A and B are shown apart, each in its own frame.
Chain A
Amino acid sequence: MELPIYLDNNATTPLDPRVLEAMLPYFTNKFGNAASRNHAFGWVAEEAVDYSREQVAKLIGCTEKEIIFTSGATEADNLGIKGVFEMYQDKGNHIITATTEHKAVLDTCKHLEKAGAKVTYLKVKEDGLIDLQELEAAMTDQTILVTIMYGNNEIGVVQPIKEISAIAHKHGALFMTDATQAVGKIPVDVNADGIDLMAFSAHKMYGPKGVGVLYVRRKNPRVKVTAQIDGGGHERGMRSGTLNVPGIVGLGKACELCRLEMDSEAKRLSGLRDKLESALSQMEESYVNGNVEHRLPHVANISFKYVEGEGLMMAMKDLAVSSGSACTSASLEPSYVLKSLGLSDDLAHSSIRFGLGRFTTEEEIDYAIENTKKAVNHLRDLSPLWEMFKEGIDLSKIEWAEH
């Protein structure tokens, strides 16, 4: 076992060696531009892109023509939301999203507010799921788009996508989802789920960084988005720019591997995750964040009360994890996702996210359990709050000098 151990697979995943192997020829002798229609170099590249498109389509249950390649999920979110807003302006200006969305969605919506969009940010329940009745109540005749993420990047909860899309469609709105954390990890089928637009990226599923997808439905209904990047009219005019052929080949291979291995891999990962989670939640004053029934198989988010997340991560120095602590962000605010669940700031400061992946072994999880327990106990020995808690002092009754 090599140290440190990587348990931050929601941030990014390592490239699968099989993916790298598929990509390599497209950096060197198969370097052609997929848009070069008049010679063999271009045809070879185009053929590779077509094959990749097929693999992506198979994974999410759509047709090849519905795939728009982008530079990643952030660009796909921008193109989907801004593109729909601009294309359907005459139908309405209202967009519905949720407070726990990724910044790529939230900041795009904020941007559109300046351009005249009206945006509703749905709150989530304590378990991180949105309230379907609240969604229904928020729909108006001006609502053109509902955009709710599939699986959350911090806590892993999976939203009731079918129900959400049904509500959107009942009111004549389109449904978009940022499925970056879900595609390749759990079954996602754009038809069964009623998805009209969907963003995701390769590097969260053992593919390369710098390539992603916006799925845009072509039938029932035919959805159009206004291009955000103008140029040579690639990707059916919706996203200009020379195709990143090696990246797209890698994405295709990554999708193929995920499709073939998903069932067994999801079982293996949820088994390891449950082992980690049950061992750590047996510790005194530790709390699992988010719904534990509807969630991704590879994420555990746990708050260890009375210790601070960044300090804790320093003590877990052989584990690469992430924290909702303010100290890990530039803003000095704790995670807005955890706060949206109604977690108090001190619990948000105390949270650690463990993100398991394809290359995580049971031996690593055993090590992570011991290492985390030791770190939590060490920091509690240093914590005045833990001492006060042990003495039975009610910390909420103390007048803290907030700074």
Chain B
Amino acid sequence: MAYSEKVMEHYTNPRNVGTLNKDSKSVGTGLVGAPECGDVMRLQIEVDENNVITDAKFKTFGCGSAIASSSLATEWLKGKTVDEALTIDNMDIVEELALPPVKIHCSVLAEDAIKSAINDYRVKNGLEPFELAKSHH
């Protein structure tokens, strides 16, 4: 299967690879997927006092599309408020990266990682976690 140019571009030059301090109160961490399934994403956000995401980092174990999906997600998250971040839909990622049907689960995983990171941040700061939609898969 050939990869789209955008997948190749993110895969070759992944944005925002790295680790934030998961113990910091301003950092939310989402770890989704499973090694047995062949993909695990860890996505972290750092949120300031105005509820704005000032930094985002990821590390992903998975295929090229999974790496590209998480790289794109971190790029989109930076500068958004937490509420705006919650509106990112996996189909936006599918469209942007031109993922084929067999790779849609990579985008779903990225959306799950965003939501899971936001919830981790909310719980740490004494807020109720958002009700997450049922897993897509």
Residues of A within 8 A of B (CB): 306-308, 310-311, 314, 325-327, 330, 332, 334, 344-346, 349, 381-387, 395, 400-403
Which of B31, B41, B108 has the most chain A CB within a 10 Å cutoff? Answer: B31
- For B61, what are the chain A residues with a Cβ–Cβ distance below 8 Å? 306-308, 311, 382-386
Query: Which are the 8 A-B pairs with shortest beta-carbon distances?
Result: A400-B34, A346-B35, A345-B36, A384-B42, A310-B63, A384-B59, A349-B38, A327-B63
Q: How far is the CB of A306 from chain B (nearest CB, A)?
A: 6
Known: A314-B11, A384-B61. A327 touches B38 (CB 8 A): yes
The interface residues of chain B, by DSSP majority, are classed as mixed
Residue of A nearest to B38 (CB): A349
Seed contacts A311-B63, A314-B64; 18 additional CB < 8 Å A-B pairs = A308-B38, A308-B62, A314-B63, A334-B38, A345-B35, A345-B37, A346-B38, A349-B36, A382-B61, A383-B61, A384-B59, A384-B60, A387-B19, A400-B34, A402-B34, A403-B33, A403-B34, A403-B137
User: Is B36 within 8 A of A400, CB to CB?
Assistant: yes
Known: A384-B41, A387-B19, A403-B135. A349 touches B67 (CB 8 A): no
User: Is A401 within 8 A of B34, CB to CB?
Assistant: yes
User: Is A395 within 8 A of B35, CB to CB?
Assistant: yes
User: Is B105 within 8 A of A403, CB to CB?
Assistant: yes
- For A306, what are the chain B residues with a Cβ–Cβ distance below 8 Å? 61
| B3 on the A face (CB < 8 A) | yes
| B32 on the A face (CB < 8 A) | yes
User: Is B40 within 8 A of A385, CB to CB?
Assistant: yes
Among A325, A349, A387, which residue has its beta carbon within 8 angstroms of that of B35? A349
Q: How far is the CB of B27 from chain A (nearest CB, A)?
A: 15
User: Is A314 within 8 A of B3, CB to CB?
Assistant: yes
Which of A308, A326, A386 has the most chain B CB within a 10 Å cutoff? Answer: A308
| B102 on the A face (CB < 8 A) | yes
> Can you report 11 residue pairs joining A to B where beta carbons are below 8 Å apart?
A308-B38, A308-B61, A310-B63, A314-B64, A345-B36, A349-B35, A384-B31, A384-B60, A395-B35, A400-B34, A403-B34
Residue of A nearest to B41 (CB): A384
User: Is A311 within 8 A of B36, CB to CB?
Assistant: no
Q: How far is the CB of B58 from chain A (nearest CB, A)?
A: 8
User: Is B36 within 8 A of A310, CB to CB?
Assistant: no
- In angstroms, Cα B60 to Cα A402, docked, is 15
Q: How far is the CB of B71 from chain A (nearest CB, A)?
A: 9
Q: How far is the CB of B109 from chain A (nearest CB, A)?
A: 7
- In angstroms, Cα B19 to Cα A349, docked, is 24
| B39 on the A face (CB < 8 A) | yes
Residue of B nearest to A380 (CB): B61
Known: A385-B61, A387-B59, A403-B137. A325 touches B38 (CB 8 A): yes
User: Is A402 within 8 A of B63, CB to CB?
Assistant: no
- In angstroms, Cα B41 to Cα A71, docked, is 45
- For A349, what are the chain B residues with a Cβ–Cβ distance below 8 Å? 35-36, 38
- For B35, what are the chain A residues with a Cβ–Cβ distance below 8 Å? 345-346, 349, 385, 395, 400
Residue of B nearest to A398 (CB): B31
User: Is B64 within 8 A of A382, CB to CB?
Assistant: no
- In angstroms, Cα B17 to Cα A311, docked, is 15
| B28 on the A face (CB < 8 A) | no
